[in-house]
Amino acid sequence: MRTRLDVLICAGAACLSAHSAAVRDALAREIEAHGLSDEVRIVETGCMGPCELGPVMLVYPDGAFYIHVTPEDAAEIVEEHFLKGRPVERLLWTTPEARRIAEQRKQVPFFAKQRKVVLKNCGLIDPENIEEYIATDGYAALGKVLTEMTPTAVAETIAASGLRGRGGAGFPTGKKWGFVAGAPGPEKYVVCNADEGDPGAFMDRALLEGDPHAVLEGMAIAAYAVGANHGYIYVRAEYPLAINRVEAALAAAHRMGLLGNNIMETGFSFDIEVRMGAGAFVCGEETALIASLEGHRGQPRPRPPYPAVEGLFGKPTLINNVETFGNVRHIILNGADWFRSIGTESSPGTKVFALSGKVVNTGLVEVPMGTTLRELIFEIGGGIPDGKEFKAVQTGGPSGGCIPAEYLDTPIDYESLQELGSIMGSGGMIVMDADNCMVNLARFFLEFTANESCGKCIPCRVGLPAMLEILQRITRGDGRADDIDKLERLGKTIKTASLCGLGQTAPNPVLSTLRYFRDEYEEHLVGRCRAKECTALIRYWIDPEACRGCDQCRRACPVGAIAGTPGNPPYAIDAEACVRCGTCREVCPFGAVEILDRR
């Protein structure tokens, strides 16, 4: 029976953590109480994109997009909108351009410049309902290759499309498929790398949660092209929702004969297993991932031989990441020329980014390659909150680099980012404003990569802790005159001499911040942090003219470092006892607490 309204409720990880399940239950109760069960259908979907605004909800066909919905809003939504046809204005996504949202992906600036290819179904279908996926041409591409195309033709189509690996390095996908297809031996494997370990990255997780069948179909097409009959999805255990939805999708695909033996009665057989990783960042590197899949410690090995020749269990192995496989069905159905019409000549197609940090609209976005950083951050992302000044954007996670404001009009592609000292990476993008200290940021990322080093090669095992020690010294105000030169020499040596991509890219945050923000490093050497973020270089002070003696700062101080008598200002902070947590500044209603340089 066709319903009058479909209520799409985001059930991605971010909205679930914001209690979207409680919203769903409350709506279901109200719909039943008003006798609308035959007219209004609730559908739980994957991530819709604007994670900051969750729980979010989209009502079709009128396109009303509700944000920050709570269970208490359910009765009003059902009575006013579902019964009377009057959307609840106070819950609609308000933008300068559109108060009433008539079409989700055109009128709201967050969606206007996006091009949904990989994320086409995310937020629009129930990821646990295979029939909804099939209704969007799901598994049609697999049917096409199995009945109309030879394996060689499939690989050639992917090569002609110009698709490059979306896991970070940007290696031509068709070329990799050709290497595996041409490798000798009857037994081959296809592996999906879902070990998304970058801080601030959640692209692969969202696709697995929101459209798992697209990844399974892409893997099956790849297996047909390279001659494999078995595949693995290697996903970190920290993604329980993604794992559950992938396993549900696998079961559904098996029931319908879309995976397993004799798929679609064509004689082609292919099966997939899920394997969970323990969260080691180095296992995102393909040879370390293979070692982990085989039950060994996740450590990279020298190449050659490459996995395409000698991979999992010593057999030729194709490894692509989640987003790469997510592109495959669209290329097969629409053609290589269609894919090349999107993006740039050297970087065709779209790219999914996890936009986070100091930006108004955080969340998941997909844009054509060649979109500028300015368009992504200011038009889609809505700019910097509270009118603060943009300072830099970190692309590529802990393996990437920081790009300053002067390069905001740079088109996003593999080559342009590399020229600026950064990388595309898997798609993490962290925006920073003037309150961010670039030296402390470099220290944060280097601490992460140093802790995640597998320790197999000396440059990474010894070099990264040596760089980290220098950065820690600088951020606590004990920097030495030659520390900056030492950081540069160490960083360049580690990039050149490390065994795998972790070590080869780990110095990028340091080297890029030295390139563009060297003056901040020099200021730290004389005991000043302009962003007032390095706690060892600052002190808190109460302005006697502004203090009103309200006593809130003294009562909130966790270490008793503030002295004063209620109603008898000014109060004073004991600099020796203060731990510089900032609580006093947060609770002061008069703005009397200031942050000063330590000296």
**Domain 5-107: assigned CATH number:** 3.40.30.10
Compute the half-sphere exposure of residue 522: CA atoms within 13 Å on the CB side of its CA. 6
Q: Say if residues 144 and 395 touch (Cβ distance below 8 Å).
A: no
pLDDT (0 to 100) of residue 103: 47
102 pLDDT above the threshold of 50 = no
Closest CA to 41 of 70, 89, 10, 2: 2
**Cα–Cα distance, 338 to 304 (Å, whole number):** 35
**Cα–Cα distance, 324 to 318 (Å, whole number):** 12
Q: Say if residues 325 and 222 touch (Cβ distance below 8 Å).
A: yes
CB neighbour list of residue 89: distance below 8 Å, 6 or more residues apart = 99, 100
- Residue 582 CB burial class (10 angstroms; 0-12, 13-18, ≥19): middle
Closest CA to 499 of 209, 287, 217: 287
In the three-class reduction of DSSP (H, G, I as helix; E, B as strand; rest coil), residue 395 is classed as strand
**Cα–Cα distance, 236 to 238 (Å, whole number):** 5
For 387-424, write each residue's pLDDT tens digit. 999 999 999 888 899 999 999 999 999 999 999 999 98
**Cα–Cα distance, 70 to 397 (Å, whole number):** 33
- Give residue 427's pLDDT band: very low, low, confident or very high (50, 70, 90): confident
pLDDT (0 to 100) of residue 137: 97
For 179-203, write each residue's pLDDT tens digit. 999 999 999 999 999 998 888 888 9
Compute the half-sphere exposure of residue 280: CA atoms within 13 Å on the CB side of its CA. 23
**Cα–Cα distance, 201 to 122 (Å, whole number):** 17
pLDDT (0 to 100) of residue 340: 98
For the domain made up of 350-433, the CATH class stated in words is: alpha beta
Closest CA to 204 of 85, 84, 46: 46
pTM metric for this prediction: 0.93
Say whether 350-433 and 130-338 share the same fold: no
Q: Say if residues 122 and 8 touch (Cβ distance below 8 Å).
A: no
Averaged pLDDT, 3-13: 93
Q: Which residues pair with 130 in a beta bridge?
A: none
Name residue 9's amino acid.
I
**Cα–Cα distance, 86 to 79 (Å, whole number):** 9
Q: Say if residues 56 and 107 touch (Cβ distance below 8 Å).
A: no
Mean pLDDT of the chain: 94
Share of the chain above pLDDT 90, in %: 90
Query: What architecture is domain 130-338?
Result: 3-Layer(aba) Sandwich (3.40)
pLDDT (0 to 100) of residue 98: 42
Give whole-number Cα distances, 530 to 29, 406, 437, 588, in Å: 54, 19, 7, 22
Kindly state the helix (H) or strand (E) to which residue 597 belongs, with its residue range. Answer: strand 593-597
Residue 396 region by backbone torsions, left for phi larger than 0, else alpha for psi between -120 and 50, else beta = left
- Provide the pairing of β-strand 390-395 with 428-433: antiparallel
For 359-377, write each residue's pLDDT tens digit. 999 999 999 999 999 999 9
508 pLDDT above the threshold of 70 = yes
Averaged pLDDT, 143-155: 98
For 246-257, write each residue's pLDDT tens digit. 999 999 999 999
**Cα–Cα distance, 166 to 427 (Å, whole number):** 8
Averaged pLDDT, 92-108: 52
Cβ atoms within 10 A of the Cβ of 68, count?
15
Q: Domain ranges for the chain, please list them.
A: 5-107, 130-338, 350-433, 438-525, 535-597
Closest CA to 527 of 475, 472, 477, 471: 477
pLDDT (0 to 100) of residue 97: 41
Averaged pLDDT, 342-349: 96
- Give residue 104's pLDDT band: very low, low, confident or very high (50, 70, 90): very low
- Give residue 107's pLDDT band: very low, low, confident or very high (50, 70, 90): low
Give whole-number Cα distances, 520 to 50, 90, 106, 212, 388, in Å: 33, 44, 41, 44, 19
105 pLDDT above the threshold of 50 = no
Q: Say if residues 113 and 380 touch (Cβ distance below 8 Å).
A: yes
pLDDT (0 to 100) of residue 94: 65
- Render the burial of 1-19: b for 16+ CB within 10 Å, e for the rest: eeeebebbbbbbbbbbebb
Compute the CA torsion angle 138, 140, 146, 148 (nearest 10 deg): -160
Averaged pLDDT, 85-105: 65
Averaged pLDDT, 497-508: 94
**Cα–Cα distance, 235 to 391 (Å, whole number):** 34
For 518, phi then psi, to 5°, come to -60, -35
DSSP state of 483: H
Q: Which residues pair with 191 in a beta bridge?
A: 232, 319
Give whole-number Cα distances, 415 to 36, 425, 515, in Å: 54, 12, 18
pLDDT (0 to 100) of residue 117: 97
* The token pair that represents 158 in the structure block: 């992917």
Residue labelled with tokens 């991932």: 289
**Domain 438-525: assigned CATH number:** 1.20.1440.230
500 pLDDT above the threshold of 50 = yes
pLDDT (0 to 100) of residue 554: 97
Cβ atoms within 10 A of the Cβ of 552, count?
19
Continuous H helices in 211-272: 212-226, 240-255
Please give the distance of CA 575 from its chain centroid, rounded to a whole number: 40
Averaged pLDDT, 259-269: 97
For 267-317, write each residue's pLDDT tens digit. 999 999 999 999 899 999 999 999 999 999 999 999 999 999 999 999 999
Q: Say if residues 258 and 142 touch (Cβ distance below 8 Å).
A: yes
pLDDT (0 to 100) of residue 1: 56
pLDDT (0 to 100) of residue 96: 39
**Cα–Cα distance, 428 to 504 (Å, whole number):** 18
What topology is assigned to 535-597 in CATH? Alpha-Beta Plaits (3.30.70)
pLDDT (0 to 100) of residue 101: 39
Strands in 224-292 per DSSP E: 230-236, 271-277
Kindly state the helix (H) or strand (E) to which residue 193 belongs, with its residue range. Answer: strand 189-194
**Cα–Cα distance, 253 to 262 (Å, whole number):** 13
For 527-567, write each residue's pLDDT tens digit. 999 999 999 999 999 999 999 999 999 999 999 999 999 99
**Cα–Cα distance, 107 to 320 (Å, whole number):** 35
Averaged pLDDT, 458-462: 96
